[in-house]
């Protein structure tokens, strides 16, 4: 499933300087599971808490963790020790891409079909975002006149959820969902996984995350 809004995000990444987002902001923060506490504010839980949000459904476990640049680079190296972080930015530049590591563990006794285009990231400040895919990233590399965009896509392909994938029963699968920048002054994120097919049944699950200022 294609979303025009996704393509525009990828193009913006190479046409103009990224907006301040994520770890590149003036006040460092992490993205952690759970709803935003309006009474306590962003600094309510400045100490590190659980990093991974989890939800179970009919024998399928979904675990989601926001990855900062260091964790994202480590994940890329776990797939290919020689691979640099393909979503990194030069020193001193704010982060552009927002990345989540998603792990499915299928103990349902049935095949699970996951379609990444059916995932939406919704903040308390703006319109939904949908994951970028290899088509979006290839377009961005071509606009940037990268020397070998095909080679770049080959490095990225094992890292991200790009198209529909079947998870056999008893198997586990981990890849990245990659989004564009988050809007200014956001406080809460909801990741909505629509149309998860578990056998012949279709379900929806969601996980909520919030901003937590580091050292608050």
* Chain position carrying tokens 């937590």: 212
Give strand pairing partners of 129: 121
pTM: 0.83
Query: How many CA atoms lie less than 13 Å away from 55 in the CB half-sphere?
Result: 17
**Exposed/middle/buried for 208, CB within 10 Å: 0-12, 13-18, 19+?**
middle
Longest pairwise C-alpha distance within the chain: 51
Contact (CB, 8 A) for 198 and 58: yes
Pick the CATH number of 4-213 from 1.10.3470, 3.30.160, 2.60.40, 3.30.750: 2.60.40
Helices (H), the chain: 4-15, 69-79, 134-143, 149-156
* Cα R_g (the chain), whole angstroms: 17
Q: What share of the chain is helix, strand, coil (3-state, %, to 5)?
A: 20, 35, 45
pLDDT digit of tens for each residue in the chain (216 aa)?
444 434 334 333 432 333 333 444 457 889 999 999 877 665 554 455 678 999 999 999 999 999 999 999 999 999 999 888 989 888 888 888 999 999 999 999 999 999 999 999 999 987 899 999 999 988 887 787 767 778 888 889 999 999 999 999 999 999 999 999 999 889 999 999 999 999 999 999 999 999 988 765
């Amino acid at each position: 499933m294609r979303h025009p809004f996704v393509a525009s995000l990828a193009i913006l990444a190479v046409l103009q300087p990224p907006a301040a987002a994520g770890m590149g902001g003036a006040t460092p923060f992490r993205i952690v599971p759970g709803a935003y506490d309006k009474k306590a504010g962003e600094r309510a839980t400045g100490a590190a808490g659980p990093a991974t949000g989890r939800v179970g459904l009919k024998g399928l476990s979904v675990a989601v963790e926001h990855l900062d640049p260091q964790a994202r680079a480590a994940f890329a190296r776990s797939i290919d020790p020689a691979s640099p972080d393909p979503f990194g930015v030069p020193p001193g530049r704010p982060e552009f891409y927002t990345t989540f590591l998603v792990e499915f563990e299928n103990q349902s006794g049935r095949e699970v079909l996951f379609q990444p285009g059916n995932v939406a990231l919704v903040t308390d400040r703006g319109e939904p975002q949908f994951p970028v895919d290899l088509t979006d990233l290839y377009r961005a590399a071509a606009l940037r006149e990268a020397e070998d965009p095909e080679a770049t896509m080959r490095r990225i392909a094992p890292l991200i959820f790009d198209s529909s994938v079947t998870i056999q029963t008893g198997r586990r699968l981990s890849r990245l969902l990659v989004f564009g920048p988050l809007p200014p002054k956001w406080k809460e994120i909801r990741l909505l996984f629509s149309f998860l097919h578990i056998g012949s049944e279709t379900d929806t699950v969601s996980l909520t995350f919030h901003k937590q200022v580091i050292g608050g």
